[in-house]
Amino acid sequence: MVSRAYRFSLNSSRVPAGEPLLEIRDLSLRFGGIHALSAVSFTVTQGQVHAVIGPNGAGKSSLLNCLSGLYRPQQGQALLHVRDDAGESSTHDLARLRPHRIARLGVARSFQNIELFGHLTVLENLMLGRHIHMRHRLLASMVWFGPARRQEVRHREFVEEVIDLLQLQAHRHQPVSALAYGIQKRVELGRALCVEPSLLLLDEPMAGMNAEEKEDMARYILDVHELRHVTVLLIEHDMGVVMDISDRISVLDFGRLIGDGTPDAVRANRAVVEAYLGADA
């Protein structure tokens, strides 16, 4: 894909590339006697694609649910580092915040099962991703003049850039329920991008896709990462895709971290091979 000049940035983070963006420290989550996560610790570096892999039931989606505020872990921290316009740094523990607070900090996610509004158009679904950035009160928005109108125009311009980036132009006015599965997954990625994430959490974005759709989605994720400098934390089962697009990989098994490193290091890790990749990996 050829790079072009974009008016808006999709990445709200001001943390310099190569520095820690998210530090997960001893994160533990239990459901009764079941340990979904057991003292999981690893760091996501600004400017990287970081994959989390593991067998079904390893705790991958539970981890993302803790980072997005859907689950509250019993122990540990998930420290997100943020810098404001003035360059002042602050740190926020995502494990102790509600989902709307986490979204305002610039953490957005997609879901393994599509969670779109099927009766709304692609454009309307993407505009929903802008709601945390809308500042005018209900009455001003209902009147839709002056500041409220200018605000909506500005957000619509942002959404149009996301449509352009993900090549959704031909579908912008179609109801999501009428679209092919692969296009719906792309719309869900677009809605997450409309949050202007500093950290993008993707839960199996290629699940249920054929080979051509997976190739397209991998390209869009790389475009988002390389052209718009968004840090990505990715859960994916397709090892070919993971090894091709990831800078770093963390491996979970029964809620425990059994490997963390570059794709080559993980591929050579005996514990990972035995638990997940298989003897022929």
Q: Per-residue pLDDT tens for 43-97? A: 999 999 999 999 888 999 999 999 999 999 999 999 999 987 777 889 999 999 9
Exposure string over 2-27, b if 16+ CB within 10 A, otherwise e:
eeeeeeeebbbbbbeeeeebbbbbeb
What's the predicted TM-score (pTM) here?
A: 0.85
pLDDT > 90 in the chain, percent: 57
Dihedral sign for Cα atoms in the order 243, 167, 160, 176: negative
State the CATH class of domain 17-106+197-281.
alpha beta
pLDDT at 98 over 80: yes
The tokens describing 43, both together, are 């760091």
- In three-state secondary structure terms, 166 is coil
- In three-state secondary structure terms, 37 is strand
Q: Where in the sequence of the chain do the CATH 3.40.50.300 domains occur?
A: 17-106+197-281
Dihedral sign for Cα atoms in the order 147, 100, 167, 115: negative
Q: Per-residue pLDDT tens for 162-210? A: 999 999 999 999 999 999 999 999 999 999 998 889 999 999 999 888 8
